[in-house]
A and B are shown apart, each in its own frame.
Chain A
Amino acid sequence: MQIGATDSMGDASVNNSAAVKTSKPRGINWSYSITSWLGFAPFFLFCLLFELLPAVMVIQSSFVNSETGAFTLNNYQRIFQEPDKLHAFQNSISISIVTALIGGIIGFIAAYGIYNLSTKWLHNLIVGFSSVAANFAGVPLAFAFIATLGVTGFITTLFLNWFHINLYNSGFSLYTFAGLVLVYIYFQLPLMILLTIPALGAIRPEWREASTNLGASNYTYWTRIALPILFPSLIAAMLLLFANSFGAFATAYALGQGNINLVPIQISFVVNGNVSLDTGLGNALAAGMIAVLLIAVMFYTAMLRRISRWQGR
């Protein structure tokens, strides 16, 4: 996933190659063109077999009765009829929105803090650490949080020994929706920081000077100049965060061992042979996930287009 689809250097080289092409004697050279596409065939075939067909299969089978093979919309109807399936979607969507918003807003402010650092090595150290943290996810992350805030976790014990507060008696639990939010934020924050720092780099110092010269306050500068320019980048980044947590399975599974009701957890139940679920319903759930993510991708690409218009990318 990437913000800012091509870099200027790359564009130049593409233009060059186009120029070289047109300078050749014209007339369609079929054998050249067929050979060109044949060179792409092995990779495309690989993607077809292991990337595109699984998605096609899931979508096609979601409209089919898994016993009779006839066309049906029953699989989708069941999502709305069975409360836990509908809940799974509500939970998945709300956890993604909540973590994208919290991670997005706090991550943006933290990124601005990094951007303002005048010490170069500290700046590099924090950005480097953020990329390590953003890559630290899944089962190990869940266990890191269990070791920190679980029933016998480090911080839990610390609160008990120092302040005589038992977190788990005062209503906190890591194994609930709120706990999962806390864990997801761990990979959302650094991701937001990494996405935002380059966007902040596009803000020109001259703009602040110009607005200050014209009498703008710091508040006016942010609300009238900086935020409107950054807005599409921030929304695009937050859509990535949304997708990032919507598809997450390992972290939630390792934390709750399947007790937190999310769509990926429900799909894993289908594979592991839970009686109340059949393949058709599983496919409908999976196709539903694809549909939600497709909407996110559409907004994301729309935001990228806005970024290119605003910042001349």
Chain B
Amino acid sequence: MEVSAQGVTQQNTANVATSPKYKDQTKRRGFGFDKIILTLVLLYLLIPLGATFIFSINDGKNFGLSSFQSIINDADFITTFPFSIELAIATTILMVILITPTAYWIQMRLPQARPIMDFLTLVPFGVPAIVMAFGLIQVYGSPNTLVSVLSLGLVPFLSNQLNVVNTPPLLICAYVIIALPFTYRPIDNNLRAINTRVLTEASYSLGSGWWRTFLTVVIPNIWPGIISAALLTFATVMGEFTIASLFSIYTFPIYLDVTGQNDAHKAAALTILSFTITLICVLGIILLIRLRPGGAGKDSQIEIGAAK
């Protein structure tokens, strides 16, 4: 789920930021009620992480890295972890290939498609992952005339010829969809922030075609947006449990769930590993936001994409 409340508040924020005198006069310093609540909230957020970390290095009586060692030697970990990384990379690549040209195309040629795009990126908000997975299993698992007609015959082709139901390729497609709300926005915002039209016209006037302009002029200018979308997609796929579980595909989060039922210390170690992946991806995004045009020094937007 993307959370970008940036935008029009920017100007106001900028005003506040440029007048530190105002800020000092009107903001309440000291340790008031709000700061107490803030401290409690931070404790609430930090304690489970700290406890899990201690749990992971404290195997019953002794402190040590034995839980981490037993994970690395676990055959299921050796298969599921790289498999999830492959899924995450495949999803990320498919997402970039699908969304980036479309976002550029809409910006340049088809601004009237924006409402449709807004709708499509809003749908995963109204149709949660569990419902989407349940729907996908039925669409590709049981023949239905209405669906066949609406899909222009593509669904029967995919389900009968390619037999995609409950396969990793379908899982990857589903992941691209659940990532939509927070992948399209950063790329689109980045496209709006650079002067896309002027860049494109300059490139055309120098003799480049559409693809050459897109690949050599537009992409290099919007890569911070693309990489933030990619990192968030990667983090989401590495933690996605719902759809993989309904499709019965053995991914890393499923392995984490199965292990956790038997060995709490191993589960804690895996949780720390999972948290580290999230941490690296989100830190990457935060650093990239500073690189975006006009991105530094503001309450920059941060997208939330976790699969709950």
Give A residues with C-beta under 8 Å from B: 1-10, 13-14, 16-18, 20, 35-37, 39-40, 42-58, 60-61, 106-107, 109-110, 112-116, 118, 126-148, 150, 152-155, 185-187, 189-191, 193-195, 197-199, 201-202, 204-206, 208-209, 233, 240, 243-251, 253-254, 257, 264, 267-268, 270-271, 279, 282-283, 286, 289-290, 293-294, 297, 311-313
Query: What A residues does B158 contact at CB under 8 A?
Result: 49
The interface residues of chain A, by DSSP majority, are classed as helix
Top 8 nearest A-B pairs (CB, nearest first) are A54-B135, A247-B128, A113-B38, A198-B5, A154-B51, A248-B308, A250-B241, A113-B34
19 residue pairs bridging A and B, Cβ less than 8 Å apart: A1-B181, A7-B7, A47-B123, A47-B177, A51-B124, A58-B134, A109-B33, A135-B306, A140-B274, A146-B267, A147-B51, A147-B267, A153-B51, A154-B51, A155-B51, A198-B5, A201-B9, A204-B15, A240-B1
Residue of A nearest to B198 (CB): A16
Please indicate which of the listed interface residues B48, B138, B307 has the most CB atoms of chain A within 10 Å of its own CB.
Answer: B48
Query: What A residues does B41 contact at CB under 8 A?
Result: 106-107, 110, 189, 193
Please indicate which of the listed interface residues B173, B235, B282 has the most CB atoms of chain A within 10 Å of its own CB.
Answer: B282
Give B residues with C-beta under 8 Å from A: 1-13, 15-16, 19, 22-29, 32-35, 37-38, 41-42, 44-45, 47-49, 51-52, 54-56, 98-99, 101-102, 105-111, 113-114, 116, 118, 120, 122-139, 144, 146-147, 150-151, 154-155, 158, 170, 173-174, 176-177, 180-181, 185, 189, 192-193, 195-197, 232, 235, 239-242, 245-246, 253, 256-257, 260-261, 264, 267-268, 270-271, 274-275, 278-279, 281-283, 285-286, 299, 301-302, 304-308
- CB <8 Å contact, A131 and B28: no
- CB <8 Å contact, A198 and B9: yes
Query: What A residues does B151 contact at CB under 8 A?
Result: 48-49, 53
**With contacts A138-B306, A146-B264, A189-B44 known, is A290 near B131, CB below 8 A?**
yes
In the complex, A122 Cα to B16 Cα: how many Å?
A: 18
Task: Name A51's contact: one of B34, B99, B123 (CB within 8 Å).
Answer: B123
- CB <8 Å contact, B7 and A4: yes
